[in-house]
Amino acid sequence: MSNAVEVRDLTRRHKSATALDSVTVSLEADVIHGLLGRNGAGKTSLMSVASGQDWPTSGEVSVFGEHPHENERVLPHICFVREDQKYIEDAMARHAFAAAARAYPHWDQHLADRLARDFSVPGRTRIKKMSRGQRSAVAVIIGIASRAELTFFDEPYTGLDAVARQLFYDRLLEDYAEHPRTIDLSSHLIDEIAHLIENVVLIDRGRILLDEPVDTLRGRAVTLLGPADAVRDLTDFRQVLHTESLGRMTRTTVWGALEEHELRRASARGVEVLAVSLQQLIVHLTSVTAGAVGDGVGATEGSTAPTTTTPSPNPTIDPESAS
């Protein structure tokens, strides 16, 4: 299997802050990846460097086997749309689409027009005068209709309401099925995109915590709910991601699925074994500051024990040239 993006020992510093700390990760080609993590974890920095819009302090990045920075053979095949997407003053949606058509060789104008109708994007309103949701719609339309071989979505869809976000997910998946390419979605709405993404890259404090297929990740953790002593007996030798007391009951999430004999013990002692959603798992993993979870997942230097709680190149848009 080929990789669209290869990042090796990448570090990016901004003055006194380190956004990326010796990151090594690969993005497999023609896969929808979820780039997940808390605010300030380094997601935008990683996408910016990988898309050629920012320079690494040290380390290497290759896209389709080449360095992306100032590389005219690579940049037209990368689309990076952001939550705070910028447009030239007084640009309308049609100006943005016309500029994108010049920037991306696989641009599909018919698709862009259909998506504009689907999202009810106003045709005669300046983008700066649009609502946040309408501006988000313009951004995601560019991301989908570009059909760029490598497309980064840095949460541009968070301005959409729930109905419009579902429309985005449906249209993206529909077009991806017909025109496979490498897509990287950054989002805090993890449960909403869980059915879309095929691989999870979890970043925290500038370091990669895990990188694995969603199907492998599912079932890697379980939650035990039951009498405190019974739950404690079942979790004594396991990595605890999160625990909370509910009167005489305890809810504890642990890393690793239970074996058959443990499931029988749990049932006999009145302990319920619950599945952990992808969002819950990501939240717990990024909250744990203990040592390694599983096979090195969640390892951080100088860590402490987990806490226990009680309840494109973006095109320059010239409105005159597109009018």
Residue 312 has pLDDT above 50, yes or no: no
Calculate mean pLDDT across residues 34-41: 92
Q: Return d(Cα 57, Cα 20) in angstroms, integer.
A: 9
Q: Return d(Cα 65, Cα 101) in angstroms, integer.
A: 25
Q: Return d(Cα 114, Cα 1) in angstroms, integer.
A: 34
Residue 293 has pLDDT above 70, yes or no: no
Q: Return d(Cα 247, Cα 123) in angstroms, integer.
A: 57
pLDDT of residue 288: 64
Burial class (CB in 10 A: 0-12, 13-18, 19+), 161: exposed
At residue 313 the predicted structure's pLDDT band, cuts being 50, 70 and 90, is: very low
At residue 290 the predicted structure's pLDDT band, cuts being 50, 70 and 90, is: very low
Return the CATH architecture of domain 219-287. 2-Layer Sandwich (3.30)
DSSP β-bridge partners for residue 92: 126
Task: Supply the pTM of this predicted model.
Answer: 0.84
pLDDT of residue 297: 52
* φ, ψ (nearest 5 deg) of residue 177: -65, -35
pLDDT (tens digit, 9 = 90+) per residue, 5-25? 999 999 999 888 999 999 999
Return the CATH architecture of domain 3-216. 3-Layer(aba) Sandwich (3.40)
pLDDT (tens digit, 9 = 90+) per residue, 194-228? 999 999 999 999 999 999 999 888 888 999 999 99
pLDDT (tens digit, 9 = 90+) per residue, 50-59? 999 999 999 9
What is the domain partition of the chain in residue ranges?
3-216, 219-287
pLDDT of residue 11: 96
DSSP β-bridge partners for residue 154: 82, 186
Residue 310 has pLDDT above 60, yes or no: no
pLDDT of residue 192: 92
